[in-house]
Structure 1
């Protein structure tokens, strides 16, 4: 937890603090924000009766104290990064999920900043994942996520309303007006996901103060730790198999539209809700009796001539194949996450590689596409211009989703493959690109 710190006399939260790494002198600390965030992580489900499907088994915390009382001391971005780097150097082998319920006053402009590029570089160097608040706003006319919420490697979290009643600004499960929205760098989808926080002005989300008193507040700072706890559970339950790219891919694969409970498809909704409300890993991997989740890992290494990968071990249930009429039916959702090379010198073209994923089925003697690439529903599928491909196909984004959905059947066979294909902005930049596919 990279924040303002947990109060030294907070008897409710101190038992959950495993380690402390302090960069702010005690007389300059104000632990209100840190206490609230830590309280949400460990007691949110108890203090908010409608807050369900969150981690309820407790979360151990590394308390990295970097944010001073703003009335006593200001923290600069370079000082924050320096403290964060020192903490990572000491603790990154033990703690893989880093909650950053903080933001700057600078809005994402579509071009990468030095601050954001540094955040991305630290995550790769220390093999960790940052979970970052999208930021808060009081002006809906000028509303973009703030730095470093535009970080490509981070999971950025917006806020939806936990409760509602007559007179509230929005209904429950809807995006709250203070939650900053996307897009991110190069029109990428940000935030990545959303979780619950207070609904202005009648329904705050509740946590604890340093005296153990139940208090309410509002902000994306307080939806962010709920997602951090979910990801931490991924690592806790699968310590030998989990790593940042796997965790982010699974998180987004399992996310649902909090309003309609289906996959979010429109780019306008993506820029508010991201990919939706994430789920705990047991819900993703186990699902119900009609679902199965598969995971594939690999890498594209164009520098060694690997320019295309075909995944042939792609099972398809016999009950979904009508052999007599040569038709397939059912629903396949594929989420691709990959470790895109980044280069801050190129501004909005910060992401230097694009991986695309497609599903093909064998018809006659050749494989035909049954998905066209990652598509949202707000742009024309016939659009050829680069901007339209970015918004309609998530081009250059390190997360992609494609879906085959046909309840009545479509021409095809049970001989199906997945394809992964790279595109480079500059052929001289080719390098190894690891990927994870969940379907």
Structure 2
């Protein structure tokens, strides 16, 4: 909540929101932890209280300033690298203008401190009044309406914005005998209350989704019931009054976000020196939009699904390691503004000609300067192309000419560019850009080396900013190839 308040702060978590969020950030899937009887803590949680016992911000300090003070102190005193912000302003859904000061402050801090900030997309709390029992038939199309847009500060361009998908249909066994209780969605479909994009400049927002509970229509009471009231409709979290009860169920993007924070922490524990850009790039590289999202009749399609689910649910294990049929390549670097870099991607013969679906996924993350006072929010833009059937000299020659000219980077002939599920125009509007090439045909004619051409363009960035940091990750995957990992020894860094 963002309503100002002079209400006193207390040492205890009266509402329980913070305890629920922190428990998921610390342990991930609480239900799985209970089943495994394992609550060994892998991470330390440092928290900063910014709202009072009723969830309101104080009157005497602007919210952006308060958040900046808290984040800087946690970074300075505890060396925190990952920040979860499960707060937002429901009165400020994004309407296509410039981001608010809160979002811009988070972006500025993410860039300056090289930290990963994770923000919840926000929840719709007007669904009962807006749809009544018609919500079942209105779902999921209403998720694309203006009323379902992400709220401040989820518009932050560098922060990871997280929406929610359901862990199940939200029904208990006893509900089968009650005709008035109706599920709205099922496993891995967008939660009824989650919010959608696009974000600033039309970028894909939310960036990712994770399990955040569900809600069901309760005909007898004439309302929508979520996991905060109905156990089966929520994911598990720890209770803020453990003497009375150890666990409670929860629904909301507030609880999806710490699931991603937990996965980011797992990744950071394996790559301690990883930049925030690399963490973002790897998490997005590992993500997939659940198949259930596009299977529903009159549901979301491949074009609209990213506006609700971003790049999908991240997989921490996939993000940090390769396996027999899947290899991850990575690079971290800086690029002079208005310059380019070209990276070689080795394509083994078996990957080219073995029958089955092959996949090349590219993920680019960068942290440009951003200002909410400017109509053009990002001071630097970047982009990439996956090129095949040519050689290094030809790729370099094409981009060398661009560095001497103004305007957009040159395009390659269409036959040389790998088509991807997310097109370049949509990708390049954001600071996290993921695209996947998939195919089943033999690709031997294109050779054993592909190239990722990465470019960087100055917009309004001041002359004092000469370079842009970025992380580039590439995943090769083949459904029928079990020797890919052996062929490409790990770890491999992309060759520039």
Q: Same fold (TM over 0.5)?
A: yes
Please tell me whether residue 61 in structure 1 is matched to residue 61 in structure 2: no
* Count of aligned positions: 392
Give the structure 2 partner of residue 236 of structure 1: 269
Whether the 8 Å CA contact 1:299–1:432 is kept in 2: the answer is yes
Distance 2:462 2:418 in 1: 28
**Contact residue 158 and residue 223 of structure 1 kept, 8 A:** yes
Contact 1:198 / 1:204 at 8 angstroms: preserved in 2?
Answer: yes
Q: Does residue 85 of structure 2 align to residue 100 of structure 1?
A: yes
Question: Distance between the aligned counterparts of 1:288 and 1:257, measured in 2?
Answer: 21
Q: Secondary structure at the match of 1:230?
A: helix
With over 3 angstroms needed to count, the CA separation of the structure-2 counterparts of 1:35 and 1:375, relative to structure 1, is same
What SS does the aligned partner of 2:471 have? strand
Q: Shift of residue 436 of structure 1?
A: 1.0
For residues 197-225 of structure 1, the C-alpha deviation after alignment (integer angstroms, 9 at most, x for no partner) is 22113522222222321222211111111
Which residue, 166, 174, 197 being the options, matches 1:161? 166
Question: Normalization by structure 2: what TM-score?
Answer: 0.70
Who is 1:91 aligned against?
Answer: 74
Query: C-alpha displacement at 1:155, in angstroms?
Result: 0.8
2:369 matched residue in structure 1 = 341
1:143 equivalent in alignment to 2:148:
yes
Provide closer, same or farther for how the CA distance between residues 203 and 321 of structure 1 changes in structure 2, counting only shifts above 3 A: closer
**Alignment match of 1:318 (pick from 327, 344, 349):** 349
- Counterpart of 2:382? 355
Question: Is 1:272 the counterpart of 2:308 in the alignment?
Answer: yes
Q: Distance in 2 between matches of 1:80 and 1:308?
A: 39
Which residue of the partner structure matches residue 479 of structure 2? none
Which residue in 2 is equivalent to 1:187? 202
Task: Answer yes or no: is the 8 Å Cα contact 1:97–1:130 preserved in 2.
Answer: yes
Match of 1:36 among 3, 6, 20: 20
Contiguous gaps of at least 5 residues in structure 1? 4-22, 323-327, 378-388
Match runs of 1:271-290 below 5 Å: 271-280=307-316, 282-290=317-325
In 1, the alpha carbon distance for the partners of 2:301 and 2:112 equals 33
* Deviations 1:17-59 (CA, angstroms, capped at 9, x unpaired): xxxxxx963179624111221233345534368999x997543
Pairwise CA distance, 1:75: 3.0
Using the alignment, how far apart are the partners of 1:27 and 1:412 within structure 2? 64
Provide the secondary structure at the position in 2 that maps to 1:30: coil
Q: CA deviation at 1:346?
A: 2.5
RMSD: 3.5
CA drift at 1:98? 0.8
**Which residue of structure 2 lines up, in the alignment, with residue 308 of structure 1?**
340
Superposed displacement of residue 363, structure 1: 4.4
Summarize the Cα distance change of 1:373–1:412 in structure 2 as closer, same or farther, 3 Å threshold: closer
Distance change >3 Å, CA 396–CA 424, structure 1 → 2? farther
Q: Does 1:419 align with 2:453?
A: yes
2-structure distance, mates of 1:251, 1:152: 16
Shift of the 352–414 alpha-carbon distance from structure 1 to 2, 3 Å rule, reads same
Cα distance in 2, alignment partners of residues 46 and 91 from structure 1: 25
How many Å separate the matches in 2 of 1:74 and 1:98?
18
Alignment partner, residue 404 of structure 1: 437
How far apart are residue 437 of structure 1 and its match?
0.8
Change in Cα spacing, 1:79 to 1:51, as seen in structure 2 (3 Å) is farther
The TM-score normalised by the length of structure 1 is: 0.79
1:281-337, Cα deviation, whole Å (9 max, x unpaired): x322424311110001222213xxx6221223x222122346xxxxx9932111111
Task: Tell me how far apart the structure 2 counterparts of residues 109 and 57 of structure 1 sit (CA, whole Å).
Answer: 41
Q: Deviations over 1:240-271 (max 9, x none)?
A: x2121111111101101123699x99341111
